[in-house]
Structure 1
Amino acid sequence: MKVTKTKDSDNKIVVTLEEPDDLFSLRRVIEVGDSITADTTRVIKQDNEFSRPDKGERIKIRIILRVEKISFDNSVDRLKISGIIITSNNENVPRGLHHSITLKVGDTVVLEKSRWNENYLKILSKSVMKFKYLLVSVDSQEAAIGSLTGTYLKMTPNIYSGKSGKRYSADKKNESNNSYFESIRTALEIYLNEQGIKIIVFGPGETKRRLYNFLRERNEYYQKTDFSIVEGIEASGEDGIFVFLRSQAMKDLMSDSKIAMVTSIMDKIMQQISKGEKRYAIGIKEIKYAQSLNAIEALIYSDKVFNDIEEEDFIKLLNEIESNNTKVFATDSTTDIGLRVTSLGGVIALLRYPIY
């Protein structure tokens, strides 16, 4: 999440959503009565004798919406906000009309409150990402690129070298490699304008080092950016990325990232389970009991939790838990860690002390 205060008011904050976890954070912060400035669309019906009564033109508008209702729109990757239009930039959309906007990853809005409290600012500041990681899993046959923001992984389709055997002359081999590496470079280009990028390359053999040298020769950006080569990952393509995300190398190299923190917490919980020590809580009932004792050290959840508790009740519980200096993390099913949380009922916590 990118968070910026506006120059015209201390009560307004510009929020850009970068991962699904940001939608959870924004959901926890928005209250009834707040104002949201956003770009949206609305159908304008033409009121004249030549227009069909059931048709209208959908136009793009910018509105300020006074919030009346907030909820996830059938899935946790879309946040629906309903309310009354205060102002719009189109004279055909007057104030006072009811309207709904749907926010997703990549959207930018301006949130205005009459007063910001410390807990809300803390929730937003924790969602600010220092780095985005580009994971490049490559060997002589195939490559895959994963963009990792928080615990959200976005994968590009595999890139294939077209190399089918060992009967290559030196010239043909170099020509094939250059074409293959050029395809990888092109796929990386879309991320180069973003701030805080760290590139991590891994895979079997020496192809990863040849790719690194190729990129440095083609673009000065790769000479200046944080670029790491990791040994010991003996898989490539999409499989290689998932192997890396479960490896010790990931924890060591990305120790300050959200996914490394969540993985470390999950590993500690698994150790407690294997030892038979009750320094963990699984499921919403155990979480509520542990919270009543102020025993929660860290909590991880996924969208599966909404099968067992109403959305509004869970949001209130999260805000209550985090007010006790508890680390709270949302995960999604794009990574192995999110799937593990989902398989455990959608919510799991590491405790400060054992409870029975």
Structure 2
Amino acid sequence: MRLIAKGLKNKLEYKKLALDSTDDLYALTNVIQRGDLVEAKTLRAVPQTTGAFDDDQIQGNAGKKKVLRKLIYITVRAQKIVFDGEEIRITGVITDAGHHESLKTKYHTLALTPGDEVTVIKEFWDFFALQTLDQYVGADTMSALAVVFNSTGKFTIYELRHSVTRVLVQGYKAIPRKYDGQGSVGKTRGKQYNDFFNVAKETLLRTIENRCKADWTIPVLLISMPYMNKLFSEYFKAWAVDNKVKTAIQLQQGFITLETSSEGKTAIREALKSISYKSALNKLAIAADGNEMDQFQRMFHTDPDRVWYGEKHVDYALEMSAVSVLFLSSNFVRGFDHAKRSRYAEATQAVQQNGGKVFMYSHLQDSGRQIDALGGIAAILRFPLNDDAVELEDPELSDYSDDE
């Protein structure tokens, strides 16, 4: 993400941003709130008062008015923000459409993808919005590819990003289960593996060429049973060297092999948690927040008195300045009104000022879904707190206790 310009517009502070990746789209969902003004280029049918029809014009039904689909700047007051992993859609009432006055007060949806520019105009830029920009503006939000094999001849290529894990392509080339009696991998089965690996190789190369802008330095994780990783890596290297394909040689040298007995996204989760590969994965933004989440899950069993979750309990821990690590889901924060968001922004700043850490997880990642299941907010405490104190703060429970 790049900050193109900032300043004041009608006494409101604006920031114009260039969106370079899908991670930037996710970041934007944590910046824009309901009620913010959002300006971007968009295609919109506008009244055509002069000139003849051309191929891009359509004829309206009401009064046979001429309209033309044009690329224009539109500003909407955000009412709904949706991110699906590939684009962000911002729906709201049009407040400004340049000289196209007839479009004002009508609804429009801005659909933004990587490569677009957008201007966000706010009455107040709170901590969550500014922290998100600090994290993403100028940052190299690197992605990685993961190739997950199974022993029957199926493979799946995933894109791993900080905000989302998604399937890019799947392939299949049958590998019979029976061996031909000539060792662990005989001639017949060896050829079948080669055919399978050739399909996987070609698919991987096409994916990098078409979906990753021919970035041959992108990290590639091979995730499967150990022998499958080894066989594919050896096959890929031999092909690249024999054919003197320098980009493929460079790609193969960066392969990271992760062993797992699972398949699909379960295999990715298992591999990324592998302690033996933490050092290799720490250079990827994907794994950056995983260590703290692993600690949180372990403490459920080893030190449960210092693991709290749910809004009421974590609020009490924040009041007691007891939070060492605060976990938030993006869904939880985006659901706030301005007053509640400001309150949590102040609490989050207090955690950091006291030396604590704050992590916000995308709802499109497993960690975000886990936090959502815990009420959208959780914490690791510096010291244990009395759980009964939280219950007694509930008026109904207090009244009940008095009756007793």
**TM class by smaller structure:** 0.7 to 0.9
Correspondence 1:340 to 2:370: yes
* Residue matched to 2:396: none
Change (3 A) 1:44 1:113: closer
* Residue matched to 2:39: 37
Higher relative contact order (CA 8 A, sep 6+): 1
Letter in 2 for 1:254: L
Change (3 A) 1:12 1:80: closer
Would the aligned equivalents of 1:250 and 1:260 in 2 still touch at CA under 8 Å? Answer: no
- Residue of structure 2 aligned with 1:72, choices 81, 92, 107: 81
Letter in 1 for 2:61: R
Larger deviation: 168-177 or 148-157? Answer: 168-177
Structure 1 gaps, min length 5: none
Q: TM-score, normalised by structure 2?
A: 0.68
- Structure having the higher Rg: 2
Correspondence 1:210 to 2:234: yes
- Counterparts of 2:294 and 2:94, CA distance in 1: 46
- Residue of structure 1 aligned with 2:362, choices 327, 331, 338: 331
Would the aligned equivalents of 1:281 and 1:287 in 2 still touch at CA under 8 Å? Answer: yes
Aligned-residue offset at 1:22: 1.6
Structure 2 gaps, min length 5: 51-58, 181-187, 387-404
- Counterparts of 2:277 and 2:339, CA distance in 1: 35
- Residue of structure 1 aligned with 2:302, choices 242, 263, 275: 275
- Counterparts of 1:355 and 1:58, CA distance in 2: 64
Aligned-residue offset at 1:149: 1.0
1:1-356 equivalent positions in 2, closer than 5 A: 2-6=1-5, 12-16=15-19, 18-19=22-23, 21-27=26-32, 32=36, 34=37, 36-44=38-46, 51-53=60-62, 59-65=69-75, 68-73=77-82, 78=88, 80-88=90-98, 96-103=104-111, 106=114, 108-111=116-119, 113=121, 119=127, 120-127=129-136, 128-138=139-149, 141-165=153-177, 166=179, 168=188, 174-175=194-195, 177-193=197-213, 197-204=218-225, 205=227, 206-213=230-237, 216-217=240-241, 219-224=245-250, 227-236=254-263, 238-249=265-276, 251-302=278-329, 305=332, 310-312=336-338, 315-324=341-350, 325=352, 326-333=357-364, 335-356=365-386
Would the aligned equivalents of 2:44 and 2:71 in 1 still touch at CA under 8 Å? Answer: yes
Letter in 2 for 1:240: A
Larger deviation: 267-276 or 145-154? Answer: 267-276
Bigger helix share: 2
Change (3 A) 1:45 1:329: same
* Cα displacement string for residues 114-167 of structure 1 (whole angstroms, at most 9, x for unaligned residues): 899694443212144531111122356222111111041011343112333545
What RMSD in Å do the two structures reach over aligned CA positions? Answer: 4.2
- Counterparts of 2:337 and 2:64, CA distance in 1: 35
Change (3 A) 1:328 1:276: closer
Letter in 2 for 1:329: M
Secondary structure of 1:82's aligned partner:
strand
- Counterparts of 2:277 and 2:64, CA distance in 1: 54
- Counterparts of 2:360 and 2:239, CA distance in 1: 35
Secondary structure of 1:243's aligned partner:
helix
Aligned-residue offset at 1:175: 4.9
Would the aligned equivalents of 1:142 and 1:236 in 2 still touch at CA under 8 Å? Answer: no
Secondary structure of 1:131's aligned partner:
coil
Would the aligned equivalents of 1:297 and 1:351 in 2 still touch at CA under 8 Å? Answer: yes
Change (3 A) 1:303 1:131: closer
Secondary structure of 1:190's aligned partner:
helix
Aligned-residue offset at 1:302: 3.2
Letter in 2 for 1:328: F
Q: TM-score, normalised by structure 1?
A: 0.76
- Counterparts of 2:362 and 2:60, CA distance in 1: 48
Change (3 A) 1:284 1:100: farther
Change (3 A) 1:342 1:169: closer
Aligned-residue offset at 1:282: 0.6
Would the aligned equivalents of 2:224 and 2:260 in 1 still touch at CA under 8 Å? Answer: yes
